[in-house]
Amino acid sequence: MTLAAFTGRETFDPVPSVGVLASLELNALAEPPTGTTLGIFVSPGGDLPKHSPLDWNGLAAVGFEAKMGQTVPLPTDDGRLILAGLGDGNLDANGLRDAAAAISRATSQVAEIAIELPGVLPAAEEAQLAVEGVTLARYRYDALKSKPTVTAVSTLTLVGGDAAAIAEGAERGRAMAEATTISRDLANTPPALLTAAQMADVAVRLGAERGLEVEVFDEDDLKAMACGGMLGVNAGSTEPPRLIKITFEPEDGGEATLSLVGKGIMYDAGGLALKPADPVHAAMKNDMSGAGAILGTMVNLGRLGCANKVVAFLCCTDNRPSGSAIAMGDVLAVRGGTTVEVANTDAEGRLVMADGLVLATEEPTDAIVDIATLTGVAMRTMGTEIAVVMGNHGALVDQVEAAAHRVDEPVWELPLATRYRKQLDSTVADIKNLGGANAGSITAGLFLEEFVAGKPWAHIDIAGVADNESDASWRPPGCTGFGARLLAELALEFTAPLPGKDAR
């Protein structure tokens, strides 16, 4: 009997959010429908809707001051009114997304809601942000629960002037939200229900539906390709590895080419360097969050109208201990022939990504961006709300930072300090997979840089932001899907960095 059978889920869809968002009815109207719960944004002391049963004195008496994220429900003759505060500052995109999320959270058991757009930003942008805020805030991983935690939004009506622009922006919001929710679904799925092979099946199915070219390489293929990093990490697992290559190409071939490489450790026990039995170990089903974020991005690029070609490599395997697992001190030869001394089997992500990075360099590309839950010290450095970014080309890092800001998935650059490179020197191989006790995120980045062949490259370490314990705004507890919208935004706005210009 398989572990999947023990869960009662022998037939299981790892990405249920695709169906939920596909069935969401999005409407653009000039006037709010009667009888529907209506959310309206208000600023402190600003104009109130004419049908509000309370003035500002009455609102103050119930504790509503229109602070950002604050809401108050009010009964009206034709339905329920939700006032959502915008705070005192100038409203920006991230603030509007947060405010829409607050409305969604205040109506968590209501399936049909309407939101009156404030008319401060362009109509299409406001519609996109509203859809993202509402749907991402309402997300819960309920696939294995007997009863859902919250009610899914079935109908979202956006009220404003330019119906065509609102409808266009709403569909863009649906696609961006789906990128994140696919990533969340995959990372939240228990490892018994999402192996590397099953991850490949999801990629093939969604790729076929969205017009992507998907190639799957199995264990025999990886042996023929000399991908020793993936094979070495997989050696202790009974589940075979999969390298998944996904290609999105516009009809005109694309203005530029961006390569993405994702860490897809479906479950990380640490190998023979076994992790302790603590909450960190229990969360290691999310160690494929980088690959999950890329998959969520790729299947939505066509719907978002991406003008660039994007090629992704998802490096998927378990990292488990067994009699066949690699040991500390073993030497692997990754794709391209570089030999790596395994100083720690729990530094496995960089081993599988070395193969993916080399493969990315073997095809024409303007830049490579990788994303991974790579180092626990990234959390010690940046906490749980900011990811680490570093790279060898300043203009590319700048593009990553700009995309991160636009979608409110913040990153902060660490230096790719070559003075620490000597920590990776090995006496028996070309390089070790682990540096010293300090600067662990930087030495991990320096390791990855060895395999990019000098091409413009940026590395995003999402170890600290991949999981969320709190419940706030559009970020519910559980796996966050961090990086999916960031990469989608990057792909949409990507321009080829000039060779040698602003190289680190």
Q: How far is CA 151 from CA 90, 106, 109, 332, in A?
A: 32, 12, 5, 49
Q: What pLDDT score does 370 carry?
A: 99
Nearest to 244 by CA among 278, 273, 210, 215: 215
Q: Where are the beta strands (DSSP E) in 334-432?
A: 339-341, 367-372, 387-391, 411-413, 431-432
In the 8-state DSSP scheme, what is residue 241? Answer: P
SS3 content of the chain, % helix, strand, coil (to 5): 35, 20, 45
Report pLDDT for 9: 65
Give the dihedral sign, CA 151/153/155/157.
positive
Residue 141's SS3 state is coil
Spell out the per-residue pLDDT of the chain, length 504, in tens: 455 666 666 789 999 999 999 999 999 999 998 889 999 999 999 999 988 999 999 999 999 999 999 999 998 877 799 999 999 878 999 999 999 999 999 999 999 999 999 999 999 999 999 999 999 999 999 999 999 889 999 999 999 999 999 999 999 999 999 999 999 999 999 999 999 999 999 999 999 999 999 999 999 999 999 999 999 999 999 999 999 999 999 999 999 999 999 999 999 999 999 988 777 777 899 999 999 999 999 999 999 999 999 999 999 999 999 999 999 999 999 999 999 999 999 999 999 999 999 999 999 999 999 999 999 999 999 999 999 999 999 999 999 999 999 999 999 999 999 999 999 999 999 999 999 999 999 999 999 999 999 999 999 999 999 999 888 899 999 999 999 999 999 999 999 998 776 766
The pLDDT of residue 45 is: 94
Within 13 Å and on the Cβ side, how many CA atoms surround 193? Answer: 20
- Between helix 196-210 and helix 163-188 the angle, nearest 10°, is 160
Closest CA to 155 of 36, 240, 323: 36
Q: Which CATH architecture has domain 3-179?
A: 3-Layer(aba) Sandwich (3.40)
Buried b (16+ CB within 10 A) or exposed e, 9-42: beebebbbbbebbeebebbbeeebeeebbbbbbb
Which residues have a catalytic role annotated?
Answer: 275, 350
Q: What is the pLDDT of residue 276?
A: 85
**CA-to-CA distance for 346 and 326, rounded, in angstroms?**
11
The predicted pLDDT at position 5 comes to: 63
**Which residue has tokens 């990788």?**
370
Q: In what order do the strands lie in the sheet with 79-85?
A: 25-29, 155-159, 112-116, 37-42, 79-85, 71-76
Residue type, 13: D
pLDDT at position 11: 81
Do strands 257-268 and 367-372 pair parallel, antiparallel, or not at all (unpaired)?
parallel
DSSP string, 174-232: HHHHHHHHHHHHHHHS-GGG--HHHHHHHHHHHHHHHT-EEEEE-HHHHHHTT-HHHHH
CATH architecture for segment(s) 195-493 = 3-Layer(aba) Sandwich (3.40)
The ranges assigned to domains in the chain are 3-179, 195-493
* Spatial contact of 167 and 126, defined as CB atoms under 8 Å apart: no
pLDDT of residue 192: 93
> Rg (Cα) of the chain, in Å, rounded?
23
**Cα separation, 480 vs 144, whole angstroms:** 18
For 432, the 3-state DSSP assignment is strand
Distance between CA atoms of residues 38 and 241, nearest Å? 49
Q: How far apart are CA 167 and CA 114, in angstroms?
A: 14
pLDDT of residue 1: 46
- Rounded Cα–Cα distance for residues 402 and 490 (Å): 8
Q: Check if 3-179 and 195-493 are the same fold.
A: no
The pTM of the full predicted model, rounded to 2 decimals, is 0.96
Tokens of 140: 């819960």
Looking at residue 489, its amino acid is E
Q: What is the DSSP string of 13-69?
A: -S-THHHHHHT-EEEEESSPPTTSEEEEEE-TT-PPPTT-S--HHHHHHTT----TT
